[in-house]
Chains A and B, each alone.
Chain A
């Protein structure tokens, strides 16, 4: 019963391509939304649960992507090995960064992570010899899973959805454990958490690394799916969008973050037809959500539905 919502969601995403066969919107936008879900759920562990903001999360997304891109195109590594190497490298960098950076709080932490994101982006643009510079890296080979080469939109949908479900499952397990409670305790009162014996520095470091690993994992998949990476996919705008997904869906709720990621992905697609007005409508919608549903779309709406249900039952 603990994972009832998860199984329902898994059944839904598995059924979508059956209900809407050969539907470009479902398959392509769905895959894109799936990657965003992995990113948002990972960031939510750090932001929503542990209460630490990161405005540079696109950097970890980019590290995973560039690790896969560079290792497969320039060194001819097998894609799975490159993916693993990307995870190890990103995890190591996040770990080295975590101790000094997570000593900071609030605005200072926001500025520091922002700066980190910008530095990584500059490296992607400037280290032309490795990254291809602003033009990016093309010709990334397809993902090869033990002999199965992932090609075509439908196959990619399957792989990304499976990866997304794995990320969701891991996050749900983590949150509903002593590790997750310790994280929420850090958010609730760091001093009290320490007095309960929680090594808060270690807990924050761990969640920062886990969050970075989620992003790097999504990045590797993204690089293979697109067969091309460029710095534009990992700039400050993307970092801000990831934060928006978490806040939009509802902080400290794994499904909330997933819901925010899906909603924002759909919103972008839906607003493409308005061209120049896209940013305007986008901004207005976000403001409306923050004013009327400050706990986020998912959390706010589900609480509203619960209240409605209770009221209806009392009246009947």
Chain B
């Protein structure tokens, strides 16, 4: 397969006796929006944490960008082109918005401790470049006018946007969005939908965990349904909505929202 697709095979994640992921397999094709849905506790965030190296999977394999990810630490996985946002905000509240996004550019920066301490000319150039890159990511997320504000002073919806800008600043091939619409109002959700569409248009593969069914069904190319750590179904939004098992286990009345 191509570089930006991710292939997961037989992924297992157990915590003590609890099997949070019981052999999950799927393939998210390049350049598409691949959503992962399921009831609370189905293992969606666990799956994300395993993909990005925060957990060490008990078994299985994750193949991305020509590498096996199992066993790699998060910063190495990030270097292969994966970025993510978090269900519970993980902003750097001790920094401004633009500084947050500049940290997102870390992998594109060449810095040395000594060079930075001595403020060599190349560090000055690097600083300017990082700031420019950060502003590009901020503009993409409609945050340009918030650049110099402390990250903690923003309304919740914008904080979630800063997380997306920070992840995009890394120029990822694969972006993991963990419940980006949680806590957003309808207007913000609509703007988010446009933003995710723009991200896909730029060639980034998106993995989306989300509970907001109109958003998921409207924007995803394919879906994976998890239940109790196992794959319940996989397919296009239309197929998923027509699947009686999914309807029974999870969607219920949500089918009527289908776009």
Chain A positions within 8 Å of B, measured between CB atoms, are: 170, 173-174, 177-182, 184-185, 187-189, 191-200, 206, 210, 252
Q: 6 closest pairs, A vs B, by CB? A: A188-B92, A177-B116, A192-B90, A197-B107, A194-B74, A197-B78
Q: Is B42 an interface residue (CB 8 A)?
A: no
The verdict on A177 contacting B111 (CB below 8 Å), with A184-B92, A195-B84 known, is yes
Stretch at the interface among B6-14, B98-106, B135-143: B98-106
Does A195 contact B83, Cβ atoms closer than 8 Å?
yes
- CB contacts (< 8 Å) of B59 on chain A: these are none
Distance in angstroms between the alpha carbons of A226 and B184 in the assembled complex = 63
Greatest chain A CB density within 10 A among B52, B91, B113 is at: B113
Partner of B103, one of A170, A198, A199, A206: A198
Greatest chain B CB density within 10 A among A179, A194, A196, A200 is at: A196
Q: Is B170 an interface residue (CB 8 A)?
A: yes
Does B116 contact A179, Cβ atoms closer than 8 Å?
yes
Does B92 contact A200, Cβ atoms closer than 8 Å?
no
Distance in angstroms between the alpha carbons of A181 and B75 in the assembled complex = 16
Does B123 contact A177, Cβ atoms closer than 8 Å?
yes
Does A199 contact B90, Cβ atoms closer than 8 Å?
no
A169 to chain B, nearest CB (A): 8
Closest to A175 in B: B116
21 cross-chain CB contacts under 8 A: A173-B119, A174-B116, A178-B106, A178-B109, A181-B103, A181-B106, A182-B103, A184-B94, A184-B95, A185-B103, A191-B54, A192-B86, A192-B90, A194-B54, A195-B74, A195-B78, A196-B78, A196-B83, A197-B78, A197-B107, A198-B75
Distance in angstroms between the alpha carbons of A302 and B149 in the assembled complex = 18
Greatest chain B CB density within 10 A among A181, A192, A199, A210 is at: A192
The verdict on A196 contacting B118 (CB below 8 Å), with A178-B126, A191-B74 known, is no
A42 to chain B, nearest CB (A): 12
Does A170 contact B117, Cβ atoms closer than 8 Å?
yes
Partner of B116, one of A180, A184, A188, A193: A180
Does A179 contact B111, Cβ atoms closer than 8 Å?
yes
The verdict on A196 contacting B166 (CB below 8 Å), with A177-B123, A185-B92, A252-B94 known, is yes
Q: Is B93 an interface residue (CB 8 A)?
A: yes
Distance in angstroms between the alpha carbons of A179 and B107 in the assembled complex = 12
Distance in angstroms between the alpha carbons of A191 and B74 in the assembled complex = 8
- CB contacts (< 8 Å) of A200 on chain B: these are 75
Partner of A181, one of B53, B99, B112, B117: B99
Closest to A176 in B: B127
Q: Is B73 an interface residue (CB 8 A)?
A: yes
Distance in angstroms between the alpha carbons of A208 and B95 in the assembled complex = 21
Greatest chain B CB density within 10 A among A178, A187, A199, A252 is at: A178
Q: Is B247 an interface residue (CB 8 A)?
A: no
Partner of B95, one of A170, A179, A188: A188
Q: Is B130 an interface residue (CB 8 A)?
A: yes
A91 to chain B, nearest CB (A): 12
The verdict on A194 contacting B92 (CB below 8 Å), with A206-B113, A210-B113 known, is no
Q: Is B79 an interface residue (CB 8 A)?
A: yes
- Beyond the given pairs A177-B111, A178-B106, A178-B116, 15 more chain A to chain B contacts, judged by CB atoms under 8 angstroms and listed by A's residue number, are A173-B118, A174-B113, A178-B102, A179-B116, A181-B102, A181-B106, A191-B86, A192-B91, A193-B103, A194-B78, A195-B74, A198-B106, A199-B75, A200-B75, A206-B113
Does A197 contact B75, Cβ atoms closer than 8 Å?
yes
Distance in angstroms between the alpha carbons of A181 and B90 in the assembled complex = 15
Greatest chain B CB density within 10 A among A188, A192, A197, A252 is at: A197
Does B78 contact A170, Cβ atoms closer than 8 Å?
no
Does A174 contact B78, Cβ atoms closer than 8 Å?
no
Distance in angstroms between the alpha carbons of A170 and B115 in the assembled complex = 10
Does A188 contact B75, Cβ atoms closer than 8 Å?
no
Does A182 contact B106, Cβ atoms closer than 8 Å?
yes
Does B92 contact A192, Cβ atoms closer than 8 Å?
yes
Closest to A190 in B: B90
A208 to chain B, nearest CB (A): 12
- CB contacts (< 8 Å) of A189 on chain B: these are 90-92
Distance in angstroms between the alpha carbons of A47 and B53 in the assembled complex = 27
Distance in angstroms between the alpha carbons of A177 and B170 in the assembled complex = 17
B113 to chain A, nearest CB (A): 6
